[in-house]
């Protein structure tokens, strides 16, 4: 029996709907295993801008630092996407949170539930058995370097920067994870062009000597983007920079059938943050059709990584597996053979997961 403080940060768009389901799952786990989870809620992103003018209000940051784990939804609003001149943007809240909490390692497990083999646009025989764990560096690179305009605003720049220490700490996490899996690590960079990538490769090569039991390959990001689709099964743990990781994990979501299925964990110096990799999806917001399973699987990662509750986490994953086996689908993972009665909305899907738990 453990006592834990969980902060719920639903954010924008479907973040609200799916995080509600993730929270219900955490509650059910607490009841079943006799844990005491207490919850608080905080604002981030567009909803926080509307309420306070700040995409990451100080109150939210304070609550984040004082909780044991954070279940996060999504940030973003179409209003800003079409207004490149907006000075205050929802995404700034997310980026600042990553920096302030020292969340330098973003884990994105890409695992296909067998029942979803036909939901992907990639051929089932290519996908079957694919199981990749991405480590995306999350607090460096072009995301956080100097950016601005010059020449009277006619030229823009974003500086990519990495220090040895930043590469080493994410590299180490990836090597450690590879040791607990198939002992295979692929490091992705663009060392034929970028200086940051050459430093990245040097540091990973140093670590290779400390982990002689892990088999390492280095790939350029363009080649890796191709290989991921051609033969996803050849990869086990993949470690890469912030920007490349952002792009490659969206691509890799197709290996898992749908973006709606993928959870992620952001960890580092302080409180861990667990969130779906999908965004705020304003096109379906408020319709009750969003797939809550990525939030449910984020809750599973939270239980495992932040609380060390393996059995609890495993039960949540099994619940998702069972619900899919019974044939239930949300719209995004349904196919032409799914009977209409088996296509559930967000809440109903959550209820099926809870029944199993």
Q: If contact means CB under 5 to 8 A according to the sort of partner, which of ligand IPM, Mg ion, none does residue 208 touch?
A: none
Return the DSSP state at 158. E
Nearest to Mg ion of 20, 246 (CB atom): 246
Catalytic residue list contains 328: no
Q: At what angle do helices 346-356 and 310-325 cross, to 10 degrees?
A: 120
Nearest to ligand IPM of 174, 265 (CB atom): 265
Token readout for 120 is 């992907």
Interacting span for Mg ion (CB under 5 A) from 11-19, 153-161, 165-173, 241-249: 241-249
CB of 141 to Mg ion, least distance (A): 13
337 three-state secondary structure: coil
Catalytic residue list contains 246: yes
Catalytic residue list contains 332: no
178 three-state secondary structure: helix
Candidate list 40, 81, 222, 269, residue with the active-site label: 222
- Rg over alpha carbons for the chain, rounded to the nearest Å, is 20
By DSSP bridging, strand 184-189 and strand 215-220 are parallel
CB of 245 to Mg ion, least distance (A): 9
Cα separation, 3 vs 190, in Å, equals 45
CB of 161 to ligand IPM, least distance (A): 17
Cα separation, 159 vs 201, in Å, equals 19
Nearest to Mg ion of 246, 352 (CB atom): 246
CA atoms within 13 A on the CB side of 90: 25
List 20, 27, 246, 321, residue binding ligand IPM (CB under 6 A): 246
Catalytic residue list contains 27: no
Residue 182 burial (CB count, 10 A) = 14
How many residues bind Mg ion, per CB under 5 A?
Answer: 1
CB of 250 to Mg ion, least distance (A): 6
Nearest to Mg ion of 56, 259 (CB atom): 259
Cα separation, 5 vs 36, in Å, equals 9
Residues in the chain: 357
Nearest to ligand IPM of 76, 232 (CB atom): 76
Token readout for 144 is 């956080």
Candidate list 27, 131, 246, 321, residue with the active-site label: 246
Catalytic residue list contains 325: no
Residues in CB range of 169: below 8 A, 6 or more apart: 104, 105
List 27, 246, 321, 352, residue binding Mg ion (CB under 5 A): 246
CB of 253 to Mg ion, least distance (A): 10
Q: Which of residues 75-104 bind ligand IPM (CB under 6 A)?
A: 75-76, 91, 94
Token readout for 268 is 């580092």
CA distance from start to end of the chain: 17
Nearest to ligand IPM of 95, 126 (CB atom): 95
How many residues bind ligand IPM, per CB under 6 A?
Answer: 6
Active-site annotation, residues: 143, 190, 222, 246, 250
Using CB under 6 A as the criterion, which residues of the chain lie in contact with ligand IPM when the complex forms? 75-76, 91, 94, 246, 277
Contact residues: Mg ion, CB under 5 A: 246
């Amino acid at each position: 029996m453990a006592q834990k403080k969980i902060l719920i940060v639903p954010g924008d768009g479907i973040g609200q709907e799916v995080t509600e389901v993730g929270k219900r799952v955490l509650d059910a786990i607490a009841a079943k295993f006799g844990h005491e989870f207490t919850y608080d809620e905080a604002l981030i992103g567009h909803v926080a801008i509307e309420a306070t003018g700040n995409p990451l209000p100080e109150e939210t940051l304070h609550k984040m630092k004082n909780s044991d784990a954070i279940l996060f939804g999504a940030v973003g609003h179409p209003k800003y996407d079409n207004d490149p001149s907006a000075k205050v943007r929802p995404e700034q809240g997310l980026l600042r949170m990553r920096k302030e909490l020292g969340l330098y390692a973003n884990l994105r497990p890409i695992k296909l539930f067998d029942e979803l083999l036909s939901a992907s646009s990639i051929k089932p025989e290519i996908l079957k058995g694919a199981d990749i764990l991405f480590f995306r560096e999350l607090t460096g690179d072009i995301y956080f370097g100097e950016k601005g305009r010059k020449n009277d605003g006619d030229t823009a720049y974003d500086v990519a920067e990495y220090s040895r220490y930043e590469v080493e700490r994410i590299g180490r996490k990836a090597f450690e994870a590879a040791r607990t899996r198939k002992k295979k690590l692929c490091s992705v960079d663009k060392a034929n062009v970028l200086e940051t990538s050459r430093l990245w490769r040097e540091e990973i090569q140093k670590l290779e000597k400390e982990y002689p039991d892990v088999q390492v390959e280095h790939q350029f990001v363009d080649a890796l983007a191709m290989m991921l689709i051609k033969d996803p099964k050849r990869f086990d743990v993949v470690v890469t920079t912030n920007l490349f990781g952002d792009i490659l994990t969206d691509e890799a979501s197709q290996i898992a059938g749908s973006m709606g299925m993928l959870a992620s964990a952001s960890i580092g110096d302080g409180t861990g943050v667990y969130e779906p990799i999908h965004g705020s999806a304003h096109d379906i917001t408020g319709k009750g059709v969003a797939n809550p399973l990525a939030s449910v699987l984020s809750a599973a990662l939270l239980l495992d990584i932040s609380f060390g509750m393996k059995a609890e986490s495993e039960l949540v994953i099994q619940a998702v597996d069972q619900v899919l086996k019974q044939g239930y689908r949300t719209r995004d993972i349904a196919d032409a053979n799914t009977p209409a009665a088996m296509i559930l909305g967000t809440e109903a899907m959550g209820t099926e997961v809870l029944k199993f738990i």
